[in-house]
């Protein structure tokens, strides 16, 4: 496309079928270069800590303290990974984190789908008020609900359990909002046509509506999953037993070891912790971006 | 649902009756006081300008909107509280509502599959529908891979596999181009004549209404303006609204005053014409008052202004019943086969339709029409005064 700079239709044959739209102003070479440089800077800025984390996890502890700024070790070693895997019940933490994330994701998706379905396709008194009230919950800071939630979970006897971590987050205002936006893009006549065919409400949802909002569902699932996976403070409050730790809490174990922090092990554990969310995001990146673009919300 | 029905048999469950039906949205009245009956096997067209209440009426019949006042009867039974799915009605939506993630086959059979209709029955009905609508070979296509005309036919196929005694269509041809539309509307008529379901069809296109409907309900402002055969609404418009809405170009509506045995035109006070005795006596009680004279453009003829009495008489459309008024032509529109001629009428115009090349157009001509073709309306209520002609006899209806 670099040929097109300066002329909006350069390179397009005269008789080509062109949709009528205002010609977009192209960037000049200088602007494009400057912008590219800026993006590169932001990318490096964002990626640097991660690259450093992976690099450090492969260095010996001596190398880390001697040459902390180098990104990649001269001689890489897997000793930290071996250490993490054998010295702490890391597999156990992965399983814990996975379960919490799975339960929360499934529950949030389920409640969001049902609520958004009602808010989009059913007419009832107080619908808009109720909807915005639910959306508002997405903006209540965690610190405001932390203590009531903690007391509730404690009274229910769920401290130090996966369920205790999951319970307060089984529904999500933002999820309801995003799915309602997705359902709104589905013409009402799809729903009505199915109704005229005597299809029940849950089957309409399953056979007609959900397949049409699948990208949004996938994006939400991954967002919910990653958020829960990375969550630190709430599980930290609830989980008392070491055996019930999730990965983010387990990480702090390496900072408090006697004789200072074991940086190598810490970085190896961090790398392992971020592996799954990174993979999930990479797989669904396009759908996540599309969902936010189409909902009018910036990610 | 699964009972078989031989082609051509009319299903009594197809009767639709609305009694004083009304629907409001907040403070807006969508429809009011609707009363009419669609007989089983009929094709009723709901026609009117947008916002007239056509689609609301259709959705009230479908059960997609709840009735506020009055009663909708289906097959003779009150249906106000019956769920849309239980009304045994099929519907074709304006945007077709084809599920984009399902193939043609899946779309057509979706309702039947959800009803757990036996697979062999589904197979038979879907095959028949595909054949009837010339969709064979497209079963595995997704809607996005179909042309507009094909999508429209898939929507029809989906409606007929249900074998419902009533099929509702909401402007099903509005997304097609003009040529396809002509083809599609004859297809709909052919389909209905074969399967004999009761059809209720919404459109704002009067040509579509005239060609499809066996009965037309003209709706405006949420009220029924007239309900009758296409011939009825065209030849005996019940009121000024229908008179002005049906017909292209529209009916000329000329204000005049009854002065004894003559009629004086308000826009052209210098012109007064004498009324035939039968009309004069029918209008006797309106002496000194206004009437609106309605005359269809295609009933107006033009003749050269200059000419002998004998030559003129030869061209008179209806002997002594003919009205002849000198006019100045204002402009002429050629529309191929025919020509629209507009003559100055005070500050307005009177339009006529003449065959292209049929007459030589000069600036001053004689406008002619027969009293038999004239409708009289009350200017206040807009109602047709009901003077209509059968043979040579004036009837008051």
Verify that B256 and B290 share a domain, yes or no.
Answer: yes
Cβ-based burial of A227 (10 A; exposed 0-12, middle 13-18, buried ≥19): middle
Verify that B193 and B53 share a domain, yes or no.
Answer: yes
Verify that B106 and B51 share a domain, yes or no.
Answer: yes
pLDDT digits (tens, 9 = 90+) for B307-320: 555 555 555 556 66
For B208-231, b/e burial (b = at least 16 CB within 10 A) is bbbebbbbbbbbbebbbbbbbebe
Verify that B173 and B255 share a domain, yes or no.
Answer: no
Chain B contact present for A31, CB below 8 A: no
Verify that B259 and B119 share a domain, yes or no.
Answer: no
Q: Among B83, B87, B95, whose Cβ lies nearest the Cβ of A189?
A: B95
pLDDT digits (tens, 9 = 90+) for B219-267: 999 999 999 999 999 989 999 999 999 998 899 999 999 998 899 999 9
> What integer is the mean pLDDT of B122-132?
96
Per-residue pLDDT band at B188 (split at 50, 70, 90)? very high
Which pLDDT score, from 0 to 100, does residue A258 have? 59
Cα–Cα nearest to A269, from A259, A260, A261, A258:
A261
Give a yes or no: residue B254 inside a domain: yes
**Candidates B65, B90, B91, B167, partner chain A, best to mutate (most A CBs within 10 A):** B91
Verify that A33 and A17 share a domain, yes or no.
Answer: yes
Give the end of a domain, one of B181, B215, B243.
B243
Verify that B162 and B307 share a domain, yes or no.
Answer: no
- Greater confidence (A26 vs B158) lies with B158
Chain B contact present for A125, CB below 8 A: no
Is A189's CB within 8 Å of B101's CB?
A: no
Give the end of a domain, one of A25, A50, A77.
A77
Verify that A47 and A146 share a domain, yes or no.
Answer: no
Give a yes or no: residue B63 inside a domain: yes
Q: Is B344 left (phi over 0), alpha (psi -120 to 50) or beta?
A: beta
> What integer is the mean pLDDT of B197-222?
96
Which pLDDT score, from 0 to 100, does residue A24 have? 63
Verify that A101 and A149 share a domain, yes or no.
Answer: yes
Q: What is the CATH number of the domain that holds B165?
A: 3.40.50.300
Which pLDDT score, from 0 to 100, does residue A29 have? 86
* Sites in chain A below the pLDDT cut of 70: 1-25, 256-260, 291-299
Which pLDDT score, from 0 to 100, does residue B389 have? 56
DSSP state of B10: P
CA distances from B335 to B100, B177, B209, B239 (A): 41, 20, 22, 28
| ipTM score for this prediction | 0.86
Chain A residue numbers touching B85 (CB-CB < 8 A): 195-199
Verify that A35 and A180 share a domain, yes or no.
Answer: no
Chain A contact present for B2, CB below 8 A: no
Q: Among B85, B94, B97, whose Cβ lies nearest the Cβ of A198?
A: B85
Q: Among A196, A208, A211, whose Cβ lies nearest the Cβ of B90?
A: A196
Give the end of a domain, one of A56, A77, A98.
A77
Give a yes or no: residue B1 inside a domain: no
Is B111's CB within 8 Å of A212's CB?
A: no
Give the end of a domain, one of B243, B274, B302.
B243
Is B110's CB within 8 Å of A212's CB?
A: no
Q: Among A190, A198, A203, whose Cβ lies nearest the Cβ of B99?
A: A190
> How many structural domains comprise chain A?
2
Verify that A41 and A164 share a domain, yes or no.
Answer: no
Is A189's CB within 8 Å of B85's CB?
A: no
Q: Which residues pair with B38 in a beta bridge?
A: B16
Which pLDDT score, from 0 to 100, does residue B64 have? 96
Which pLDDT score, from 0 to 100, does residue B164 have? 95
Range of the domain at B100: 12-243
Verify that B237 and B255 share a domain, yes or no.
Answer: no
Percent of chain B topping pLDDT 70: 91
Closest-CA distance, B173 to chain A, in angstroms, reads 16
Verify that B146 and B193 share a domain, yes or no.
Answer: yes
pLDDT digits (tens, 9 = 90+) for B35-59: 999 999 999 999 999 989 999 999 9
Chain A residue numbers touching B109 (CB-CB < 8 A): none
Which pLDDT score, from 0 to 100, does residue A20 have? 46
**Candidates B64, B79, B143, partner chain A, best to mutate (most A CBs within 10 A):** B64
Verify that A148 and A67 share a domain, yes or no.
Answer: no
pLDDT digits (tens, 9 = 90+) for A94-116: 999 999 999 999 999 999 999 99
Chain B residue numbers touching A212 (CB-CB < 8 A): 99-101
Is A207's CB within 8 Å of B84's CB?
A: no
**Candidates A197, A202, A204, A210, partner chain B, best to mutate (most B CBs within 10 A):** A197
Give a yes or no: residue B108 inside a domain: yes
Verify that B202 and B64 share a domain, yes or no.
Answer: yes
Verify that B257 and B214 share a domain, yes or no.
Answer: no
**DSSP assignment of chain A:** -GGGTT-TTTTS-TT------PPPPPPPHHHHHHHHHHHHHHHHHHHHHHHHHHHHHTS-HHHHHHSTT-SS-SS---HHHHHHHHHS-HHHHHHHHHHHHHHHHHHHHHHHHHHHHHHHH---TTHHHHHHHHHHGGGS-HHHHHHHHHHHHHHTT-TTSHHHHHGGGS--HHHHHHHHHHHHTS-HHHHHHHHHTT--HHHIIIIIIHHHTHHHHHHHHHHHHHHHHH--HHHHHH--SGGG--HHHHHHTTTSSTTS--HHHHHHHHHHHHHHHHHHHHHHHHHHHHHHHHHT---
Q: What is the CATH number of the domain that holds A236?
A: 1.10.3720.10
Verify that B101 and B217 share a domain, yes or no.
Answer: yes
Which pLDDT score, from 0 to 100, does residue B337 have? 86
Verify that A98 and A73 share a domain, yes or no.
Answer: no
Is B97's CB within 8 Å of A197's CB?
A: no
Name the closest residue on chain B to residue A193, using Cα atoms: B97
DSSP state of B336: S
Verify that A109 and A57 share a domain, yes or no.
Answer: no
Verify that A15 and A100 share a domain, yes or no.
Answer: no
pLDDT digits (tens, 9 = 90+) for B85-120: 999 999 999 999 999 999 999 999 999 999 999 999
Verify that A42 and A173 share a domain, yes or no.
Answer: no
Verify that A224 and A264 share a domain, yes or no.
Answer: yes
What residues of chain B, 237 to 296, have a C-beta less than 8 Å from chain A?
A: none
What residues of chain B, 157 to 176, have a C-beta less than 8 Å from chain A?
A: 162
SS3 state of residue B340: strand
Give a yes or no: residue B4 inside a domain: no
Name the closest residue on chain A to residue B108, using Cα atoms: A197
- Token pair, residue B4, equals 């078989």
Give the end of a domain, one of B243, B259, B289.
B243
Name the closest residue on chain A to residue B167, using Cα atoms: A196
Verify that A18 and A161 share a domain, yes or no.
Answer: no
pLDDT digits (tens, 9 = 90+) for A23-76: 566 778 888 899 999 999 999 999 998 888 998 889 888 888 887 778 788 788
pLDDT digits (tens, 9 = 90+) for B341-358: 999 999 999 999 988 876
> How many structural domains comprise chain B?
2
**Candidates A189, A196, A204, partner chain B, best to mutate (most B CBs within 10 A):** A196
Give the end of a domain, one of A55, A77, A99.
A77
Is A190's CB within 8 Å of B62's CB?
A: no
Verify that B291 and B231 share a domain, yes or no.
Answer: no
Is B97's CB within 8 Å of A193's CB?
A: yes
Give a yes or no: residue B3 inside a domain: no
Range of the domain at A14: 2-77
What residues of chain A, 180 to 199, have a C-beta less than 8 Å from chain B?
A: 187, 189-190, 192-199
Is A196's CB within 8 Å of B91's CB?
A: yes
Asked whether the predicted pLDDT for residue B387 surpasses 80, the reply is no
Q: What is the CATH number of the domain that holds B391?
A: 2.40.50.140
Closest-CA distance, B86 to chain A, in angstroms, reads 7
């Amino acid at each position: 496309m670099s040929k097109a700079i300066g002329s909006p239709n350069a390179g397009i044959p005269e008789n080509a079928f062109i949709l009528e739209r205002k010609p977009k102003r192209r960037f000049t070479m200088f602007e494009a270069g400057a912008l590219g440089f800026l993006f590169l800077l932001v990318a490096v800025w964002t990626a640097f800590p991660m690259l450093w984390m992976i690099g450090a996890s492969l260095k010996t502890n001596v190398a880390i303290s001697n040459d902390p700024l180098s990104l990649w070790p001269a001689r890489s070693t897997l000793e930290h990974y071996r250490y993490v895997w054998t010295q702490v019940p890391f597999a156990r933490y992965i399983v814990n984190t996975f379960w919490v994330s799975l339960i929360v994701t499934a529950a949030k998706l389920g409640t969001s789908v049902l609520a958004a379905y009602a808010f989009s396709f059913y007419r009832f008194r107080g619908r808009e008020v109720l909807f915005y009230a639910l959306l508002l919950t997405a903006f209540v800071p965690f610190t405001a609900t932390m203590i009531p939630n903690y007391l509730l979970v404690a009274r229910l006897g769920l401290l130090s359990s996966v369920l205790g971590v999951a319970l307060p987050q089984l529904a999500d205002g933002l999820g309801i909002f995003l799915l309602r936006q997705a359902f709104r893009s589905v013409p009402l006549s799809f729903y009505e046509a199915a109704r005229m065919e005597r299809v029940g409400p849950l089957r309409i949802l399953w056979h007609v509506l959900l397949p049409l909002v699948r990208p949004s569902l996938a994006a939400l699932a991954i967002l919910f999953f990653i958020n829960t996976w990375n969550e630190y403070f709430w599980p930290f409050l609830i989980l008392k037993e070491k055996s019930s730790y999730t990965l983010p809490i387990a990480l702090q174990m390496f900072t408090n070891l006697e004789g200072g922090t074991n940086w190598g092990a810490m970085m190896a554990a961090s790398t392992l912790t971020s592996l799954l969310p990174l993979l999930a995001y990479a797989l669904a990146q396009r759908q996540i971006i599309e969902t936010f673009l189409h909902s009018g919300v910036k990610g | 649902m699964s009972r078989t029905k031989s082609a051509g048999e009319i299903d009594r469950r197809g009767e639709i009756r609305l009694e004083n039906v009304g629907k409001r949205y907040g403070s807006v009245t969508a429809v009011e006081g609707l009363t009419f009956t669609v007989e089983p096997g009929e094709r009723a067209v709901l026609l009117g300008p947008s916002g007239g209440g056509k689609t609301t009426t259709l959705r009230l019949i479908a059960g997609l909107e709840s009735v506020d006042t009055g009663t909708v009867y289906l097959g003779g039974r009150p249906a106000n509280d019956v769920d849309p799915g239980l009304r045994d009605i099929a519907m074709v939506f304006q945007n077709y509502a084809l599920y984009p993630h399902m193939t043609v086959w899946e779309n057509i059979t979706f309702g039947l599959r959800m009803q757990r209709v036996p697979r062999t029955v589904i197979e038979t009905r879907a095959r028949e529908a595909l054949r009837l609508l010339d969709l064979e070979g497209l079963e595995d296509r997704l809607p996005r891979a179909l042309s507009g005309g094909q999508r429209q036919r898939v929507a029809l196929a989906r409606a007929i596999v249900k074998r419902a005694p009533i099929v509702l269509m909401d402007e099903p041809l509005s997304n097609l181009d003009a040529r396809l539309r002509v083809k599609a509307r004859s297809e709909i008529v052919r389909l209905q004549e074969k399967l004999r379901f009761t059809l209720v069809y919404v459109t704002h296109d009067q040509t579509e209404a005239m060609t499809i409907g066996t009965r037309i309900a003209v709706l405006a402002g949420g009220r029924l303006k007239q309900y009758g055969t296409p011939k009825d609404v065209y030849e005996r418009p019940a009121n000024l609204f229908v008179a002005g809405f049906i017909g292209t170009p529209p009916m000329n509506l000329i204000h005049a005053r009854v002065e004894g045995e003559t009629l004086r035109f308000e826009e052209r006070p210098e012109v007064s014409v004498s009324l035939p005795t039968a009309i004069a006596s029918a209008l006797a009680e309106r002496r000194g008052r206004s009437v609106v004279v309605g005359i269809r453009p295609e009933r107006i003829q033009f003749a050269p202004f200059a000419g002998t009495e004998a030559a003129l008489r030869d061209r008179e459309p209806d002997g002594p019943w003919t009205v002849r008024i000198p006019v100045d032509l204002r402009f002429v529109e050629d529309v191929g086969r025919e020509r629209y001629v507009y003559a100055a009428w005070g500050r307005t115009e009177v339009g006529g339709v003449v065959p292209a090349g049929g007459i030589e157009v000069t600036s001053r001509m004689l406008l002619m029409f027969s009293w038999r073709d004239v409708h009289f309306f009350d200017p206040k209520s807009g109602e047709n005064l009901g003077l209509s002609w059968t043979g040579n006899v004036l009837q008051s209806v």
